[in-house]
Structure 1
Amino acid sequence: MTGKTHLALGATASLTLTTNLPIKSKALILAFSLISSLIPDLDHPKAKLNQKILLFQNGFSKFILYFTLGCISIYFHFISDNEIFLPLGIVLILLGYSSHRTFTHSFLGLFLASIVVKIISEKYLLNEIYYGFLIGYITHLIADFFNPRGLQIFYPLKKRFSAPITIKTGGKLENKIFIISTIYSLFLLFVNFEIFKI
């Protein structure tokens, strides 16, 4: 699915799951679910986030950036006592090596990335960061499960899995899903009017 649809689905999921939470928690979860709904596509050099990060939108540029950042992170692990650097470094190196819908679209990618976010959320006592991350990331994986090419959900195993019913990226059905998700998300914002009092 396209980035805008992943954003809409991330918003829909987070707003649906946080209806009864306080305003601050709801807003934080929504913000981080929107960000994390795009994170799995960092494995594609032309993804929305990579368009802002990469100097050149190609596989080599993606590899150099994330591999270098991963090595730097692992180096900091050995010269500091901060527990976040090792898992972050591993995630970044694997991200650099991975092709589209492989590592970042797998249970392994979700697990390792969630460790990094869990450490950050516990350090700053903001569980909402972790919950928002999980909502956005898992929503992304579920949406891409309906892609005809499927996902290497059990990466590093190369077998791809997809739903029996598939949705073409950028096709009419996806556009309908985007419109419905956007309208529903806006409806939830108005139903939970207090979110505008932040």
Structure 2
Amino acid sequence: MTGKTHASCGMLVGALTTQYFQTDIFSSVTVIILATLASLLPDICHTQSKIGRRFKVISFFVRLIFGHRTFTHSILFIAIIAFLLQIIQTPNYYMAAIIIGLVSHVILDMITPKGVKLFYPLPFNVKTPIQFKTGGLVDLSLATALMVGTVYVLFQPFINDIISNWNTKFL
């Protein structure tokens, strides 16, 4: 999947996380940003990715050591990040946003033909039975649907008020 699709999914899971934890406005913005950044982080192993271009040196060495869609797309990587977040006593809603953002990335890459090395260091790729090409029409459509979902989740209280007022006045 493209960076746009990963970021769109990160925004959606971030928005859902804010609803689950009922965070204040400052924490909500932070949660959405963290989930979005976390949804891009696994591609640090790809030097041409959005995050890889921003952190060229780190990306180069991660790719050199591990390759693409291996360690950073694995349960091991997610577990290490979760452990580190626990050690520094990250608030639950921030930790959830980061972990769910990472997981969303891995799941999206599992629906591509290459799949991911989910159980790294074991050498086999895990992918779903139905796969879609990165950058294709399905990828673009998914990114769009995820953004629409994000807008809906963020503005759901306002939408519900509008519908309720409409029903009160006209029905």
TM-score (norm 2): 0.82
Q: Please list every run of 5 or more consecutive structure 2 residues that lacks an aligned counterpart in the other structure.
A: 159-171
Say which of 155, 167, 176 aligns to 2:141: 176
- 1:155-174 residue pairs with structure 2 within 5 A? 155-174=120-139
CA deviation digits over 1:16-51, x for unaligned, max 9? 243251224433321210110001000111111121
Asked if the contact 2:14–2:33 (Cα under 8 Å) also holds between the matched residues in 1, the reply is no
Q: Please list every run of 5 or more consecutive structure 1 residues that lacks an aligned counterpart in the other structure.
A: 67-94, 194-198
Q: Which residue of 2 aligns with 1:22?
A: 23
Say which of 37, 56, 74 aligns to 1:106: 74
CA deviation digits over 1:77-99, x for unaligned, max 9? xxxxxxxxxxxxxxxxxx65111
Say which of 86, 103, 106 aligns to 1:138: 103
- 1:1-198 residue pairs with structure 2 within 5 A? 1-20=1-20, 21-23=22-24, 24-54=26-56, 62-63=60-61, 97-120=65-88, 122=89, 126-192=91-157
Q: Which residue of 2 aligns with 1:80?
A: none
The amino acid across from 2:12 in the alignment is T
Asked if the contact 1:102–1:152 (Cα under 8 Å) also holds between the matched residues in 2, the reply is yes
Shift of 1:181: 0.8
RMSD of Structure 2 on Structure 1 (CA) = 2.0
Identity %: 31
